[in-house]
């Protein structure tokens, strides 16, 4: 199971990377593995300002539907539309092509409050 050291993580199994004030967010390798084959990703919050831990969409696997929680407060600036036709990208490349949203973060320092790769790995093992 991959847990890149350059990312931060949530207890709800989302990952976040930050560049300036723009964050890219997706679900972890652990989460996609637990969900199984992902068949649909539903995110319709383009342009919306959301609070930390607010639901920004859902991911549907063969046997379950799971909510997606925003790690930090901000405004959703981009949704990965490639997932509409290829939701399996979340399974095959969760930290790359399987990203879900980009967010203009209200307070980039909030990311420091999230789990490090080491802490997340300890949580899921």
The torsion region of residue 36 among left (phi > 0), alpha (psi -120 to 50) and beta comes to: left
Taking the CA atoms of 26, 28, 32 and 35 in sequence, report the sign of the dihedral they define. Answer: negative
Q: Please check whether residue 73 lies inside any domain of the structure.
A: yes
Give the chain's domain count. 1
Give CA–CA dist 84/2, Å, rounded: 24
Place of tokens 């979340």: 90
Q: Please check whether residue 43 lies inside any domain of the structure.
A: yes
| CATH assignment of the domain containing 42 | 2.40.50.100
Q: Please check whether residue 15 lies inside any domain of the structure.
A: yes
Q: Please check whether residue 123 lies inside any domain of the structure.
A: no
> pTM of this prediction?
0.96
Q: Tens digit of pLDDT per residue, the chain (125 long)?
A: 789 999 999 999 999 999 999 999 999 999 999 999 999 999 999 999 999 999 999 999 998 999 999 999 999 999 999 999 999 999 999 999 999 999 999 999 999 999 999 999 999 98
Picking from 124, 118, 98, the residue whose alpha carbon sits closest to that of residue 8 is 118
Residue 37 sits in which domain range? 8-107
């Amino acid at each position: 199971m991959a847990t890149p050291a350059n990312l931060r993580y949530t207890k709800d199994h989302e990952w976040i990377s930050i560049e300036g004030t723009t964050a890219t967010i997706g679900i972890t390798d652990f989460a996609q593995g637990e969900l199984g084959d992902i068949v649909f990703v539903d995110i319709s919050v383009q342009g919306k300002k959301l609070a930390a831990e607010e639901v920004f969409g859902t991911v549907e696997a063969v046997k379950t539907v799971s909510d997606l929680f925003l790690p930090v407060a901000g405004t959703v600036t981009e949704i990965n539309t490639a997932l509409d036709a290829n939701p399996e990208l979340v399974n095959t490349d969760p930290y790359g092509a399987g990203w879900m949203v980009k967010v203009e973060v209200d307070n980039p320092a909030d990311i420091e409050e999230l789990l490090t790769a080491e802490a997340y790995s300890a949580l899921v093992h």
